[in-house]
Homo-oligomer: A and B are copies of this chain.
C-alpha cells in the first residue's frame, strides 16, 4: 500500500502544470492576424494526437530539454535542477512555458515561452515577451511554429499585456510579420552584452 501511495503522489506531481491550462481554451484564434490553412487553434491543433498545454514536470521525461537543445545549448540538466527551476518559475509567476505534445509517443514537439514583466509605466501595466521558440523539424507542414507563437501571443493579450515583444534573426522577420509583429521605424534595435 505504501508503495502505491508513493506512486500515486509522484504521478500527481508529474502532471502538475506550470500555469492553469484552462486559459488556453479561452483564446480566440480568429483574433490573430495569422492565416491558418486549415484553421487550427490551441484547443484544436489539427490532429487528435496533438495537445497544446502548459509545461508539466513530467516533460523532463518527454524530451522537453532535448527539444530546447535544438535551439541552443542547454547543458546537462538533472531532474533535480529541472524541478527546482520549475518551482522557482511557478512561485515567481509570470512564466508561461507552453508546449505541444505528440501523445502517440509522449514527446514534446514544440515549445514557446511567454514571460510577463511587471511595470510601473502605463498605469502599472505588464509587458509580454516571446522567448525560446522551437519546433521539431520532422513535423514540418503542420503549422506548429505558427500555432505555438500565436498561442502565447494571444495569451499575452488575454493577460493584459500592453505590448508583446521579441528579438529575432533577419530570416525570421517575415514569419513574425505574418503573425502581427512589427519592426517599428527607428526603434527596432536589439542589443546584447555577453
Contact = CB atoms under 8 A, between A and B. Distances in A.
User: Which interface class (under 10, 10 to 19, 20 to 34, 35 or more) fits A?
Assistant: 35 or more
Chain A binding surface, main DSSP class? mixed
A165 interface: yes
Instruction: Tell me which of A72, A132, A168, A190 has the highest count of chain B C-beta atoms within 10 A of its own C-beta.
Output: A190
Interface in A128-158: 129, 131-132, 153
Contacts of A187: 167-170, 190
Q: How many copies does the complex hold?
A: 2
26 contacts: A74-B120, A74-B121, A74-B123, A75-B122, A75-B123, A81-B124, A85-B118, A92-B118, A115-B117, A119-B131, A163-B193, A166-B191, A166-B192, A167-B189, A168-B187, A168-B191, A173-B191, A177-B191, A181-B193, A182-B191, A182-B193, A183-B190, A183-B191, A188-B189, A188-B190, A190-B190
